[in-house]
Structure 1
Amino acid sequence: MSTGSFTPEGEPLKGSDLARAALEAAKASAKARGRTPGSKSKGRPVNRRRRRWSGPGPDDRDPQPLGRIASRLAADRGWVEQLQGGQVFGRWAKLVGEDVAEHAKPIALSDGELTVQASSTAWATQLRLLQRDLIKRIAAGVGHGVVKRLKIKGPDAPSWRHGPRHAPGRGPRDTYG
């Protein structure tokens, strides 16, 4: 004798009545095991939120160009000012021109003050005369407010200190008179 579901009249269930009976039997079995209908196995909660596709418009989940990601990262971390300052050093020849860059080099940038060292005292004087024009060129190339003023230095004087040990005093000039 086959085991199946029958109607109260003794006829076998067919179609939707059979499906309804199977569903009721499954619910009863789950309730007997302590599970609520609709829960996943192993007691994990069900995430009812449907996955949504980004569609034809731009979305944060779309692949992004590397430059956009890097600029967003720099803005989030507060690195924009340091990066603009680095552009002054990296693009110095293009910003001020080849002839000026040949005789002057940037040394330091701090609080909007760019320290520039000239190759000679004559070029230091020339750079002081061109100071406003140089600041305008740098602002046009990198951005306004990055360099607010220039500090022009002449060439470094030679050092008479050689080696790890030295005697205090004027050096070799103290025997000349």
Structure 2
Amino acid sequence: MSGDSERAGAPSGGGEPELRGIDLARRALEEARAAAKASGKSVGQGRSSPTPRSRGTGRRGWSGARPDARDPQPFGALASSVAKSRGWSSKVSEGTVFGRWPQVVGEDISAHAEPVALRDGVLSVSAESTAWATQLRMMQAQILAKIAAAVGDGVVTSLRITGPTAPSWRKGERHIKGRGPRDTYG
């Protein structure tokens, strides 16, 4: 029967009684409060009413009238935070250049030129005519500024603007040097 008295809280061998259940929880809470008080943190006594949730903390409480991390977030903001956390930001920016080309450079330019490839910061753009290719080359600084404003600096560092491709008149192994047909094809 001596084993029953030890489990019930009687001293075991001459020290403090072994704590169980609620007594053990109270003791742990008192020790935690004492440790927090010693480190300079404020410690509340007993149960308190819910407190407003402060930004960045994991405390539970009511949200209130101000924006909170638990409030619904715009889809674009969530998508960009996921892309940033997974290291996809550069790929998303590159996709924005191609997917939103008319919004990035404007309707007038996008009606006469389209992006073809983006490699190592060099965007290849194909113009519909040689006149538009020349015009885009003169506007290169403004186009780069528009792209940087839309997707960020460093995504596109330079442009390679080409005109339309003309058919090749070189057929076979032997040919005559010269300009070929005298048409500009654009």
Answer yes or no: same fold by TM over 0.5: yes
CA distance in 2, matches of 1:111, 1:158: 29
Aligned to 2:60: 53
Q: Deviations over 1:1-50 (max 9, x none)?
A: xxxxxxxxxxxxxxxxxxxxxxxxxxx49x59xxx9439xxxxxxxx9xx
Q: Deviations over 1:57-115 (max 9, x none)?
A: 7766x254233332221111111111111111122112222221111100111222111
Give the alignment's TM-score, normalised by structure 2: 0.54
Gaps of 5+ in 1: 1-27, 40-47, 161-169
CA distance in 1, matches of 2:162, 2:99: 20
Aligned to 2:171: 171
Gaps of 5+ in 2: 9-18, 23-28, 30-57, 177-186
Q: Choose the corresponding residue for 2:166, options 148, 157, 171.
A: 157
Alignment CA distance shift 1:99-1:71 (3 Å): closer
Question: How many residues in Structure 1 have an aligned counterpart in Structure 2?
Answer: 129
1:68 equivalent to 2:92? Answer: no
The ranges of structure 1 where at least 4 consecutive aligned residues each deviate by more than 6 angstroms after the TM superposition are none
Alignment CA distance shift 1:157-1:173 (3 Å): farther
Identity of aligned residues (%): 49
The 5-angstrom pairing of residues 59-98 of structure 1 reads 62=70, 64-65=72-73, 66-98=75-107
Offset of residue 134 of structure 1: 0.9
CA distance in 2, matches of 1:151, 1:175: 30
Give the alignment's TM-score, normalised by structure 1: 0.57
Alignment CA distance shift 1:94-1:121 (3 Å): same
Aligned to 2:124: 115
RMSD of aligned alpha carbons? 3.6
Offset of residue 135 of structure 1: 0.9
Q: State the structure with more CA Rg.
A: 1
Amino acid in structure 2 at the alignment position of 1:38: G
Alignment CA distance shift 1:120-1:74 (3 Å): same
CA distance in 2, matches of 1:73, 1:85: 16
